[in-house]
Amino acid sequence: MHGDARTSAVFAGLDRVRSWQEGFYRDVHAHPELSHQEHRTASLVAARLRQWGYRVHEGVGGTGVVGVLARGQGPTVLLRADMDGLPVREETGLSYASMRTGEDGTPVMHACGHDVHVSCLLGAAQLLSGASGQWQGTVVVLFQPAEEASDGAQAMVADGLGELVGRPEVVLGQHVLPMRAGRVGTNAGPTLAAAQSMRVVVHGRGAHGSMPQSAVDPVVLAALIVVRLQTVVAREIAPDEPAVLTVGSVRAGTGSNSIPDRAEIALNIRAFSEQTRVQVVEAVERVVRAECWASNAPREPSFELFGRFPVTDNDASATRRVAEAFTGFFGEGAGALGRWSASEDFSHLAEAFGAPYTYWGLGGIDPQLWDRAEREGRVEQEVPVNHSAVFAPVVQPTLTTGTQALVVAALAWL
């Protein structure tokens, strides 16, 4: 690690952060909460921020928490972390694995690393508070609910976020990813994809399983649709234009000897431009309608769009500033992130202020696991990814690197 005297002075408090941060992380990991239910996590965050002198606003956008720390004249820098978990049953085998369920009994896990984000931002908040003589300006630390539901950022904006903190000069954030722990990566321009989820219902005519001639089988219809949808990206989108179409759920019927009268397909679309997103959505509707016609479906299909995320399009100037700061501090641990087809609602926060933003990647994979998989050419097969039941960022150096990254990026403005 490198850095100037000011950075070194701020990181003199790292031992104080480590004294609680790893235990805090394990506790939050063991107690995940679904979108809009992050009451416990928000309460823990608010209590610590108050200890460190932040002016704290709770309940922003439902369960969001905002801490503000002003130290004289200077720019306002907003740092963001998300707090919600996912409806996934954990299979990591960790001693601190989640055994929790949501309010409706759904299993819950921090399968996307938001527990890392919360822990790192709290660590950065303490470091900046403890070394406030090393910087001037205003630090805003924002803990957002419901990123997975795609509406948490917008809820905080609608609840008066701008009136609470004013306009920041820059909005900064990070996400732990399946990269080697200890590394950070930046990317200017489109970095995370726009996402659009869709629920499709197709209709058939039910009958006894022994009399298929009396039915219009929606199970077969749904199967044909799923297969045909695999050609949309492969045959309708240019090879140099990234896009993903994933069918995540197909549901129909309740028994083995009855043909149902409807089937439901849930799918997800990712693209790095609005034009491509619209093109894929229109292709899905065309394919579904055509297959329904070919199967002689008695009713038109229905389409419901939901869960839309914007493209995360990092500001070039802000990204260059952060990248230079990362290179100066992390050395070879800093590099290029490239494009990822995952999606985020982070940019809604910056766009609401009309502020530039940049969002970088943080490695969370055990270096030994990563190095072995890379050496054997089996990274895709061996390295768990976000939303997997076995995704478990290694505690260190992930937490320290993520904490340092937030501070180094903030100090590039403060």
Dist CA 176 CA 329 (whole Å): 19
pLDDT of residue 1: 66
The number of helices, as runs of H, and strands, as runs of E, in the chain is: 13, 16
Q: CB-based contacts of 382: which residues, under 8 Å, 6+ apart?
A: 369, 372, 373, 376
Helix, strand, or coil (residue 403): helix
**End-to-end Cα separation, the chain, in angstroms:** 20
When pLDDT is cut at 50, 70 and 90, the band that residue 4 belongs to is confident
pLDDT of residue 104: 84
User: What are the tens digits of pLDDT across the range 218-267?
Assistant: 999 999 999 999 999 999 999 999 999 999 999 999 999 999 999 999 99
pLDDT of residue 54: 98
User: What are the tens digits of pLDDT across the range 78-123?
Assistant: 999 999 999 999 999 999 999 998 878 889 999 999 999 999 999 9
Q: What is the mean pLDDT of residues 265-272?
A: 97
Residues of the chain above pLDDT 70, percent: 99
The answer on pLDDT for 3 being more than 80 is no
Of 278, 355, 275, 272, residue with least CA distance to 317: 355
Q: Considering the chain, what is the average pLDDT of its residues?
A: 96
Binding residue positions: 112, 114, 148, 175
Q: What is the pTM of this model?
A: 0.92
pLDDT of residue 224: 98
Question: Can 5-190+311-411 and 194-307 be said to share one CATH topology?
Answer: no
> What are the CA-CA distances from residue 11 to residues 118, 175, 383, 410, 413 (Å)?
19, 21, 31, 13, 17
- Structure tokens belonging to residue 44: 């823990």
Domain ranges across the chain: 5-190+311-411, 194-307
- CATH 3.40.630.10 describes domain 5-190+311-411: yes
pLDDT of residue 318: 98
The answer on pLDDT for 386 being more than 80 is yes
When pLDDT is cut at 50, 70 and 90, the band that residue 374 belongs to is very high
Binding residue positions for Mn(2+): 112, 114, 148, 175
Q: What is the mean pLDDT of residues 48-74?
A: 97
CATH architecture for segment(s) 194-307: 2-Layer Sandwich (3.30)
Of 197, 253, 196, 191, residue with least CA distance to 222: 253
